[in-house]
Structure 1
Amino acid sequence: MSGHISPTSRGPARRVLREDVADAIRNSIMVGELRRGSRLDVSGLAADLDVSQLPVREALIALSGEGLVRTVPRRGYYVEELDPVDVLDHYEIYGKISGIAAARASREMTDEDIDALQALNDRMRAAEDPQVQEDLNNEIHGRINRVGASRRLRSVLLTLSHGMDVRFGVIIPGWQKNAANEHDAIIAALRVRNSETARAAMEHHLSVNGQRAVDALTEAGFFATADEDPKG
């Protein structure tokens, strides 16, 4: 294995289930700690994360469904080669569905709900700890989705969100300021009950974040270049 999972990827010391392990491995892939094409050693990952091998294997199977991990029979698991369009499409799809939820939330949220969103966004803008920033960002999106999304939409959003559990503050320069400004536009549309503007603002927010993520990952050498062997 060409890399290990750093302590900052591991999260708080607690029993780690499949979803937690998948989050840690996903983050490490997306920030380049686990390099594209590299073999993922199950026992090494289990030791890094202080868990048994079973949740690691379950996590790798789940990540293979997301297209981040490739399973090679009798050889093991490898970090998959992704194209920029894979990342862009993921954000685009997530943005479209989140836009539906935002449009509905504009009709359902109370003034108090919207005031609470603004307070969360103000805290996010002022926060210095990247983990606090991301927790507040997730809370903002979660509140909009809980109000505006049906059970079916929430289940789809939950599945898609697992492919976006990335440390934005680590890989995207200026993420905090840009995200807070874009949240302001979403909140303003919610406040005036303009469903189409809320939808468009949410779609734009997630789409441009996808492009920012691609730009940052390209700069970090995450994607194969034209003169590289795609399978290393």
Structure 2
Amino acid sequence: MASRSVDIGGTVRERAARELRDRILTGALPAGARIDLDAITEEFATSRTPVREALLELSFEGLVRVAPRSGITVLGISPADVMDSFTILGVLTGQAAAWSAERATDAELAHLRELADAVASHSGEDAIADANWRFHQQIHRTSHSPRLLTQIKQAARVVPTNFLRVFPEHEQNALHEHDQLLEALTDRDPIRARDIAERHVLDAGRSLTDWLRRNDPGAPVAE
């Protein structure tokens, strides 16, 4: 999907939620860690209100516990839950790719090629994360299903936005699969597009799951 160098926009609350979610999903903020509200507020150079709202959002997702007296504690997410979440996301993105193969206009497919080229042009750079996010988001949009877009937006929160920085070994494989997916979309082959898109997500989920299992640091207190 460690701090991010890429900024994909949004309000301060949205950016704070993304950053903290990334840290929890990659184990930088492990289960049991305490989150210092003042430190986070200072880090984002903002007031307490958007940071509190971001933490409440994460509490609704089950990633942190916000208690009046004990403060904010990271609950984390188990490797098994991560894999379940990626499996769900894989099904949704596979369906988006299948519908894109059937519904995308020629102009939209040409734009997707431009976005894929942009991803490849940033190979080895931090900016690849932003370009990769835009490419996949556009595939979802070309499914022309607002209902599916809403479901993907919720499910995709489990993917760290700095995924390719955490797992740089996935970069070349991701670029290759982008080419395969574009070929399937251009051929108007929904079955092949679905299989490639779903496998793309599941491979990422397995990498994150395995990494979390290997790098479980316990539950220390983080300032």
Secondary structure of 1:131 counterpart: coil
Q: CA, structure 1 residues 128+202, in 2 after alignment: closer, same or farther (shift >3 Å)?
A: closer
State the Cα deviation string for residues 104-132 of structure 1 (Å, max 9, x = none): 11012234433432333233234145432
Write out aligned runs for 1:165-180 (5 A): 165-180=160-175
Aligned length: 218
Q: Distance in 2 between matches of 1:182 and 1:122?
A: 13
**Is 1:160 the equivalent of 2:155?**
yes
2:100–2:143 CA contact under 8 A, matched in 1: yes
Q: Which moved more, 1:126-135 or 1:36-45?
A: 126-135
| Structure 2 unmatched ranges of 5 or more | none
Give SS of 1:174's match.
helix
Moved more, 104-113 or 138-147: 104-113
- In the TM superposition, what are the counterparts of 1:47-86 in structure 2 within 5 Å? 47-72=42-67, 74-86=69-81
Of 195, 198, 222, the residue aligned with 2:193 is 198
Sequence identity percentage: 31
Determine if the alignment matches structure 1 residue 140 to structure 2 residue 128: no
Higher relative contact order (CA 8 A, sep 6+): 2
TM-score by length of 1: 0.83
SS of residue matched to 2:152? helix
Tell me the equivalent position of 1:110: 105
TM-score by length of 2: 0.86
* Structure 2 counterparts to residues 10-49 of structure 1, below 5 A: 16-49=11-44
Where structure 1 has 5 or more consecutive residues not aligned to the other structure, the ranges are: 1-5
> Which has the larger displacement, 116-125 or 210-219?
116-125
Give 1:183's match in structure 2, choosing from 159, 174, 178. Answer: 178
